[in-house]
Amino acid sequence: EPHYLTITNATREDRGRFTCLATNEAGTFEQSYTVNVLVPPKLENENKAFLEETVLVNRQASVSCFIVAESLLDIEWWKDGQPLTSLKPGTSLDSSKKRLTFSQVEIDDAGNYTCVASNQAGQINITTSLQVLVPPFWKKVPNQDEIFGKDGVSLDLECDAGGFPAPSLLWLKDGQILEAESANIAIKDNGRVLRILSPSDKDSGQYSCVATNPAGTLEKNVKVSIRVPPSLLYVPISKIKVLENRAVTFDCPVEGKPAPEITWLLDREIIDEKSPFIRFSNQRKHLHYLRVTGSGNIIFSCVAKNPVGELVTDFFTEVLRP
């Protein structure tokens, strides 16, 4: 009848040479067995079967197979559930096949890389999620360094950025953060559009679009100038009486942005500025007529003009003889 030695739950400590020795009155018999206990591969850290690796695009990156085993391992690599049967240029495995290296990681290299390690005793795998970060880059920004708007006419500033993960967009004016909804500002389309609803001169300034993600920050500055058509600061006296051969001064209190150019007319014709009786002051807003000749009614006109408007102010003048 055969005799058996059973080792339950064999471990590496059970390795060795076992000898069965049989003895009776007729003699002795022995049979030896060499027992080698095969141990399956295991994780270097039993609690880390899923790892995460983050790297900037175009930088070197690697994913490793943190698995240990006492006997020779067979290693296979998979990406997103598909076997990596071939490696593209710039990608390599070390001699142990336990480290996959990218010389310059690209966007499409992102994914889940699984190392499957096996030997005669078993199999185990470890997965690394490789995330490739792309710094913000502009998809759409104002082409010019200065944008001109018109008083009272809504103005849109557009800004769009790409990257991974998708950048967040922030708007500032003169270094101060603009709220999404305020009295005169609306920020639309997840920050891609800044709308100045009814601009005035106070809305002029430097506007900045800032795109940010974990890979970096990008900023675009643009100067906004709101042009204001000419207008009167106050209403001047428009009906004037003056004695013949006396002096008279006309006041044209205009403002605008940019500052309007002022031209003076006499009876709808450009005044003769070479006349010895003509003087200007206060940036041509004052016309000094040193000697009025003739008699009857004449019209002096102040014409104020800038790129967004024109204003004509008439002065009806009656010349009286003493």
Strand partners, 195: 156, 186
Instruction: Assess if residue 33 is contained within a domain.
Output: no
Sheet holding 261-266, edge to edge: 239-243, 309-320, 296-306, 261-266, 269-270
Pair 162, 185 in one domain? yes
Domain's final residue, options 174, 196, 227: 227
Pair 218, 287 in one domain? no
The answer to whether 158 touches 140, Cβ cutoff 8 Å, is: yes
Q: What are 258-276's pLDDT values in tens digits?
A: 999 999 999 999 999 889 9
Pair 198, 119 in one domain? no
Q: What is the DSSP letter of 274?
A: T
Counting the structural domains of the chain, the total is 3
Instruction: Assess if residue 26 is contained within a domain.
Output: no
Pair 152, 210 in one domain? yes
Domain's final residue, options 227, 250, 283: 227
- CATH code at position 239: 2.60.40.10
- pLDDT means per 10 residues, the chain with 322 residues, are 83 86 90 87 89 95 92 90 92 94 96 95 94 96 91 95 96 92 87 94 95 96 96 94 93 96 95 92 95 88 96 95 81
Pair 201, 258 in one domain? no
Pair 49, 127 in one domain? yes
Pair 96, 72 in one domain? yes
Instruction: Assess if residue 10 is contained within a domain.
Output: no
68: which 2 tokens? 């240990």
Domain holding 240, by residue range, is 233-320
Indicate the pTM of the whole model: 0.73
Q: What are 40-57's pLDDT values in tens digits?
A: 899 988 888 999 999 999
Domain's final residue, options 107, 134, 161: 134
Pair 101, 159 in one domain? no
